[in-house]
């Protein structure tokens, strides 16, 4: 990619970052540290397991940083009632944003109806939450399949399309992000993209910001339309911002 100014990229990317800890070893202490980092960096949101939503919502009350959590994660099951119930509970606990895994295996097997049902049920359960639908693009693979899953998620009520859980062998790729952005643009409705999984460096952030600028226009990427989901990226962005 072309050269970029690390400090400028960091200043632009930090407010778009969903600061995340979805590690199996996450604890209350780590969730508290995540909230402290979020306040320090002025990020878009924190993303945690459902069991930490109440804690983080209390820690960030009045700060203007929303709490996101994951539903149907990471397997992407087909039980729409369970997904809806879990999402509703998370919203009651204080979640403002729901990152829902699309039943991508069902979708790949030709069962688009079940995939749609899970998205629609979760949308209905949390009508006021920002709904990000995780496509698990590393498993969908082909651009045309990614675009078809994107269309389904948008039609079913997604506010954002999200690339990956970060738990699959292949996470975010520029090719997947480009296919998703193309579908968002073609949909003609307000929707955003969250790039997640494998982002670690300022160069990674610069790459996806440049991609969004190229496809959607240089004024498009904002907290309402573009997110970077990561944990280790935060340190690199803070170091570049303060350099």
pLDDT of residue 2: 73
Query: pLDDT tens digits for 1-43?
Result: 579 999 999 999 999 999 999 999 999 999 999 999 999 999 9
Task: Give the model's pLDDT for residue 44.
Answer: 98
pLDDT digits (tens, 9 = 90+) for 33-87: 999 999 999 999 999 999 999 999 999 999 999 999 999 999 999 999 999 999 9
Digit-coded pLDDT (tens) for 54-65? 999 999 999 999
Mean pLDDT computed over 225-237: 97
pTM over 0.95: yes
- Note the Cα 20 to chain centre separation in Å: 10
Contacts of 51 (CB under 8 A, 6+ apart): none
25, two tokens: 């070893």
**Distance between CA atoms of 163 and 102, rounded to whole angstroms?**
11
Cα distance between residue 53 and residue 57, in whole Å: 6
- Within a 13 Å sphere around the CA of 133, how many CA atoms are in the beta-carbon half? 29
Q: Residue for token digits 């600028």?
A: 213
Residues assigned a catalytic role = 99, 162, 194
Question: What does the pLDDT read at residue 104?
Answer: 98
**What confidence score (pLDDT) does residue 186 get?**
97
Location of structure tokens 């749609």? 116
Residue labelled with tokens 């994660």: 73
- The structural domains of the chain, with segments of one domain joined by +, span 68-241
Q: In the block, which residue shows the tokens 């990561």? A: 230
CA torsion 72-78-84-87 (nearest 10°) is 0
Residue appearing with tokens 């790949």: 108
pLDDT value of residue 1: 59
pLDDT(91) > 70: yes
**54 neighbors 35 (Cβ within 8 angstroms):** no
Residue 194 bridge partners (DSSP): 162, 227
Distance CA 241, CA 110 (A): 46
Tell me the fold of 68-241: TIM Barrel (3.20.20)
């Amino acid at each position: 990619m072309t050269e970029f100014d690390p400090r400028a990229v960091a200043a632009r990317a930090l407010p778009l970052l969903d600061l995340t800890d979805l590690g199996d070893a996450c604890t209350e202490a780590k969730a508290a540290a995540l909230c402290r980092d979020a306040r320090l960096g002025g990020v878009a949101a924190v993303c945690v397991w459902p069991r930490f939503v109440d804690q983080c919502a209390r820690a960030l009350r009045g700060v203007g940083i929303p709490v996101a959590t994951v539903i149907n994660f990471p397997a992407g099951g087909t039980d729409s009632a369970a997904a809806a119930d879990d999402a509703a509970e998370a919203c009651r606990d204080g979640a403002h944003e729901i990152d829902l895994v699309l039943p991508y295996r069902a979708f790949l097997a030709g069962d688009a109806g079940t995939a749609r049902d899970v998205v629609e049920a979760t949308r209905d359960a949390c009508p006021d939450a920002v709904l990000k639908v995780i496509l698990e693009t590393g498993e969908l693979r082909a651009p045309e399949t990614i675009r078809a899953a994107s269309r389904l998620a948008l039609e079913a009520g997604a506010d954002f399309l999200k690339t990956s859980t970060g738990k699959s062998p292949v996470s975010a790729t520029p090719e997947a992000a480009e296919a998703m952005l193309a579908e968002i643009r073609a949909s003609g409705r307000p929707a955003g993209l969250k790039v997640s999984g494998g982002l670690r460096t300022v160069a990674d952030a610069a790459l996806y910001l440049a991609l969004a600028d190229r496809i959607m226009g240089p004024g498009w990427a904002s907290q309402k339309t573009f997110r970077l989901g990561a944990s280790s990226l935060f340190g690199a962005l803070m170091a570049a911002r303060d350099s």
